[in-house]
Amino acid sequence: MRMPTKFPRNQRGTVLIVALVMLIAIMLLGLNSIRGTSLQVRMGSGIYDRQIAFQAAESAMREAEVAVGPGTNPVFDGSAGLYPIPAPVADGTYVDRWSVAGTGWVSGTAIANGPRTPTPQYIVEDLGEWPDPPDCLRQIPRDPLCLSSRYRITARSNSAGNANQVVIQSTFRPQ
């Protein structure tokens, strides 16, 4: 008959404790990597949404250029997103129309991109006539086409959930 083997007192459960500590360490390492991966996914999604919003705003800018381009006769009366030459306020500065709540934005064509379909908006401001080329005013005799119209086009678009707003602006001269 065999006698049961007795374990030395100082080795009881030592392997179990070491294994549990190792499992806890591996679990913490795995949780940390999952958290880092989910953060990278959210950042990538934000960059994607911003790019879609930028493309939509750029599309609205192209629509505005067509609206005031050659062959059109736009009326800058404050309707349909067409505003006259900005007038200074009491202290001599100018108010940015794109930051005023009462500005009437024109909705551009919605950009379909999967589940996201941002609708961009734009406004056009008349900046008056500018010399083109810049030194044409000094020429004698002056070219009758020296002065040409300039417009400031501001376009904006929001991403999905309005997390990112893209505003782009350009000075446009019809050809």
Tens-digit pLDDT profile for residues 70-119: 888 888 888 888 999 887 888 888 888 888 888 889 988 888 777 777 88
Q: Considering only residues 40 and 145, tell me which one the structure prediction assigns the higher pLDDT.
A: 40
Read off the pLDDT of each residue in 146-169 and give the average, rounded to a whole number: 85
4 band by pLDDT with thresholds 50, 70 and 90:
low
Read off the pLDDT of each residue in 58-80 and give the average, rounded to a whole number: 89
Indicate the residue type of 14: T
In a domain, 42, yes or no: yes
Question: Which residue range is the domain that position 154 belongs to?
Answer: 10-172
Q: Check: CB of residue 46 under 8 Å from CB of residue 164.
A: yes
Name the average pLDDT for the chain. 84
162 band by pLDDT with thresholds 50, 70 and 90:
low
Burial of 122 (0-12, 13-18, 19+ CB in 10 A): buried
Burial of 113 (0-12, 13-18, 19+ CB in 10 A): middle
For residue 160, the model assigns a pLDDT of: 66
In a domain, 4, yes or no: no
In a domain, 3, yes or no: no
C-alpha 143/C-alpha 135 separation (Å) is: 11
In a domain, 141, yes or no: yes
C-alpha 77/C-alpha 84 separation (Å) is: 6
For residue 5, the model assigns a pLDDT of: 66
pLDDT > 90? residue 62? yes
Tell me if the pTM is above 0.75.
Answer: no
Percent of the chain whose pLDDT exceeds 90: 27
Burial of 146 (0-12, 13-18, 19+ CB in 10 A): middle
Read off the pLDDT of each residue in 31-56 and give the average, rounded to a whole number: 86
In a domain, 1, yes or no: no
In a domain, 51, yes or no: yes
Give me the number of domains the chain comprises.
1
